[in-house]
Structure 1
Amino acid sequence: MSRSLAAVCLALLLAQPALAEPQALPEADRPKQLLLISFDGAHDNALWEKSRDIARRSGAHFTYFLSCTTLIPRAEAKGYKAPGKKAGRSNIGFAPTVEDVATRLDHIWNARQEGHEIANHACGHFDGKDWSKADWLSEFETFRDVVANAWKVNGLADREPEGWASFARTGIRGFRAPYLSAPDSLVAAEKDFGFAYDASLVTKGAMQPDEDGSLVRFGLPLIPEGPQNRRIIGMDYNLFVRHSAGMDNPSRSGEFEARTYTAFKAAFEAQYAGGRLPLQLGFHFVEMNGGAYWRAMERLVTDVCHRADVACVSYSEAIDLLAKQPAGPRS
């Protein structure tokens, strides 16, 4: 992660105004509590396996925001050019080998068959705060083409599953901006490109998504955490920065896991007992601080996703479920 992102995260850690406790709805009007777990980057094949296993055991569906350079072998890096960057540049690198790409493609397809959602996280993980609408559209088109042609260009055409091309062209419905950097030009490009939703916002607490014309906009919430219950974005990297200044400290992994689980569970139970607003939590395919944040996530979904009145769903599933619910509180 960049230093600029760390600075943004640290600024967001400042004390936030207290939010009113959500009001409980009458029992007859109570919708299911939605929990949305997502992963940015989705590169490490071991963590693809681990996350799918967690989902199988908990009954959860996850959203994987994929970075498309993870489908391009390093030897072919020059074939990718981000807006305003030299060819072959990527903030997150490229796949080490074709074999690594093949394993990831299998995970992507199998995860989709299991009910998970694959969404767009751009390609080279650049901060697009200064990109124009045309720049964003160029990156979206590159992502679509890389995914659509990933089997063929890697010499794996005989392994491409039936239906892959349709999935790549029309089945990727949402986007999250790298660094949560979402200028107005991004929203305009998302609408033109036909995305159903964006998940790049940050909100003061759990909120219903906004609908901006044809685009549904979700936001990761600020949730209370730690001894002082200071609010922080409900995402592993932000916790990593707060707990250990962005430096791995596995010797305190258990402590960080306990703090994180306490924060996650309290945020969930506040909504479950109150207004039943969707709760979103974000993660990366990196096990920071000895895996503390992934373990806290696993504990949460194991604890709550089997409840009859809880739905641990993807973003697209959440849109469909929310459309069927009566209008409730926004925050």
Structure 2
Amino acid sequence: MGAVGRRELMGLGLGVAAAGVGLAGCGADEAPGPHTGAGRHGRPAPGGGAKAPRAPRLIGDGSTAYTGLQPHQPDEPVPLEPGETPPQFVVFSWDGAGEVGNGLFPRFLELAKEHDAHMTFFLSGLYLLPEEKKRVYLPPNNPAGASDIGYLSNEHLKETLTHVRQAWLDGHEIGTHFNGHFCGGSGSVARWNSAHWREEIQQAKGFVQRWRTHTGWSQLPSLPFDYDKELIGGRTPCLLGQENLLPVARELGWRYDASSPGGVQRWPRKKQGVWDLPLQALPFPGHTFEVLSMDYNILANQSKNSTRAPSYNYPAWRQQATESYLAGFRRAYETNRAPLFIGNHFEEWNGGIYMDAVEETIRMIAGEKDVRLVSFRQFVDWLDAQDPAVLARLQELQVGEKLKKA
């Protein structure tokens, strides 16, 4: 996630759970073919690309702007026929989505272009607030300006703006990872009520919508989207607090939440009227237990939460992480076709092996038949277009249960 403080890593207490899954968290040191049937904006423009966005209509102070329909979106979703095999959806998502000088954000934007993939970037609102203005942030149950992740330097904030802008123009989704990432103590998001979440979301949106006011950087281009319309889902810090968040998400018209811990590879259902899209337990090679589908949870089970373990471990751990993602993919692809959700951070933990594992996974699955590498938004577009009866039959399938023929 970038610029995550040591307090967070120490406060998570993830350890290696008996079941191997535990809670996911951000904890760190400072600092295919066309996607037919998964889109929301219609076909791309002829010639292999989308039309350039129209002249922007500035919103508010000009931090954001309406530039027309989002480019590089797939075809409108098509309902499955009874008994038809669904695509294999895979969603790669990024918590924090801040650039801290390690080049990971642009690395994965380029990789996505190479493989016609779309992803979801859960932007932390504080990554667009300069540290000198940190007291503008009033976190629930915490002092003004407090945060368990570090504020970005001005240079990295500018780079984050550049990459977020490019991500949206490339067709990716910009969700939210909220702000101060409080996982422990009395101010933890686990203790927040719905009013607290409403306040936190308002501020997270405000930091995106008013970064020009907070930075004074009027010469930089606007973010090319209306965040009131773009923001339809998020992931909470350390996967905590979903129960009290969901009523607010529903009120705001959010369509999904990706905060539930300990999901499994089954077709999702709605919770309190919102699609519940949890990280999932995946096979963990060499172990009888399964591991949650997030880089940090694999790390927690390999190096006991250490992000700088001895380097002689790295080759085997990189292979194990890759094989875990691929085993989860194969289990779904060859049986119930449940979507696969993988969560990540722009971090170089343990020599960057988890980033390498994600890249290798993308390269190996992107060309498989019927595979769709999509954002969460594109996936829920597809879900909402399906016949409820057809979808209900998919939801009945257990982990590893083969599709039933019509």
Give the TM-score normalised by structure 2.
0.74
Change (3 A) 1:79 1:184: same
The one of 33, 40, 43 equivalent to 2:88 is 33
The answer for the alignment partner of 1:42 in structure 2 is 97
**What SS does the corresponding residue of 2:13 show, helix, strand or coil?**
helix
Given that 1:41 and 1:284 are in contact with CA atoms closer than 8 Å, whether structure 2 keeps it comes out as yes
Q: Distance in 2 between matches of 1:149 and 1:290?
A: 36
Partner of 1:105: 161
CA-to-aligned-CA distance 1:104-153 (integer Å, 9 cap, x gap):
11110110110111101111111311111110000000011110011332
SS of equivalent to 1:174: coil
Structure 1: distance between partners of 2:351 and 2:180: 26
How far 1:8 sits from its partner (Å)? 7.0
Residues 136-145 or 321-330, more deviating: 321-330
Alpha-carbon shift at residue 162 of structure 1 (Å): 6.9
- Superposition deviation, residue 169 in structure 1: 2.1
Secondary structure of the residue that 1:220 maps to in structure 2? coil
Structure 2: state its 5+ residue gaps.
1-7, 23-80, 184-188, 399-406
Return the offset for 1:4: 4.4
1:36-115 superposed matches below 5 A: 36-45=91-100, 46-97=103-154, 99-115=155-171
Aligned match of 1:216: 275
Matched ranges for 1:86-235 at <5 A: 86-97=143-154, 99-127=155-183, 128-161=189-222, 163-164=224-225, 166=226, 168-235=227-294
Encode CA deviations 1:258-309: one digit per residue, 9 max, x unaligned.
0111111111011111110001111112121111111111111111122341
Match of 1:317 in 2: 378
Superposed CA RMSD: 2.1
For structure 1, which runs of at least 5 residues remain unmatched after alignment?
16-25
Give the letter for the 1:329 counterpart.
Answer: L
Q: Normalising by structure 1, what TM-score?
A: 0.90
Shift in alpha-carbon separation, 1:9–1:285, aligned structure 2, 3 A: farther
Q: In the alignment, is the contact (CA less than 8 A) between 2:259 and 2:277 conserved in 1?
A: yes
Greater mean deviation of Cα atoms: 47-56 or 33-42:
47-56
Over 3 Å counting, the alpha-carbon distance change for 1:54 and 1:274 in structure 2 is same
Is the CA contact (8 Å cut-off) linking 1:59 and 1:306 kept in structure 2? Answer: no
CA–CA distance in structure 2, aligned partners of residues 260 and 156 of structure 1: 41
* 8 Å contact kept, 1:12–1:233: no
Identity of aligned residues (%): 26
**Structure 1: distance between partners of 2:242 and 2:211:** 29
Name the SS for the 1:207 alignment partner. coil
Alpha-carbon distance in structure 2 between the residues aligned to 1:7 and 1:240: 10
Deviation at 1:90, TM superposition (A): 0.6
In the alignment, structure 1 residue 288 sits paired with structure 2 residue 355: no
How many angstroms does 1:204 deviate by?
Answer: 4.6
Pick closer, same or farther for the CA change 1:192–1:322 going to 2, 3 Å: closer
Matching residue of 2:337? 276
Q: Kindly indicate which of the two structures has a greater share of residues assigned to helix.
A: 1
1:220-248 residue CA offsets vs partner (Å, 9 max, x unmatched) = 11111031242111111011111011112
Cα offset, 1:44, TM superposition = 2.3
Going from structure 1 to structure 2, the CA distance change for 1:28 and 1:44 (only over 3 Å counts) comes to same
- Residue of structure 1 in register with 2:69 after alignment: none
- Give 1:180 deviation, angstroms: 0.1
